[in-house]
Homo-oligomer: A and B are copies of this chain.
């Protein structure tokens, strides 16, 4: 993948910027309009850059990188270097305690569906309250260490190390580590554009 298009004066770097920006933008769920506004540039420019047809300036690329929470180098980096072990982790959540954090490890974006792999960690006694995800979203948890209580709207589940749980996340929910040791777990999120999927 990531073959160059060789338009007019299309440099390899331009194509890297184009690919990296588009990928990161879709991963974070921004439209061109939103991202362009956040970055303080025109949408027209963003279109050109994502098409690999614009020889942007350093400042412009930097604005976009910042708006996406990426470093300049991340945006410019060719896919060849550290290919799949990408610029991710992104969207890191850092709790008040040092041992409480979460990071996005992988992200697969397809036309109809998006899959994200997260790694979570909760310090002893800590908890996390989440808002409802988009309609149709499902989460699949797998506890690596310690124990985890998942509080849903109507029910509650307590998972021990090695146990897993699937639940619809289009509702408010929360994670609780009521144990005395840190809890680590992986979390897969399956998301759909709007509500395109039927129940299983």
Taking Cβ atoms with an 8 Å cutoff, the residues of A that contact B are: 9, 11-14, 17, 55-59, 61-62, 72-73, 76-78, 81
Which residues of B sit under 8 angstroms from A11, Cβ to Cβ?
58-59, 62
A13 (CB) vs chain B CBs: closest residue: B72
A9 (CB) vs chain B CBs: closest residue: B59
The answer, among B12, B59, B76, for a CB contact under 8 Å with A76, is B76
Q: SS class of chain A's interface: helix, strand, loop or mixed?
A: helix
The answer, among B12, B14, B59, B73, for a CB contact under 8 Å with A81, is B73
Pairs across A and B, CB under 8 Å, 5 listed: A9-B59, A13-B62, A55-B57, A56-B57, A73-B73
Separation of A58 and B14 alpha carbons in the complex (Å): 7
Which residues of B sit under 8 angstroms from A77, Cβ to Cβ?
73
Which residues of B sit under 8 angstroms from A72, Cβ to Cβ?
12-13, 76
Separation of A82 and B165 alpha carbons in the complex (Å): 41
Q: A78-B73, A81-B73 are in contact. Are A58 and B55 (CB under 8 A)?
A: yes
Residue among A17, A56, A61, A76 with the highest chain B CB neighbour number at 10 A: A76
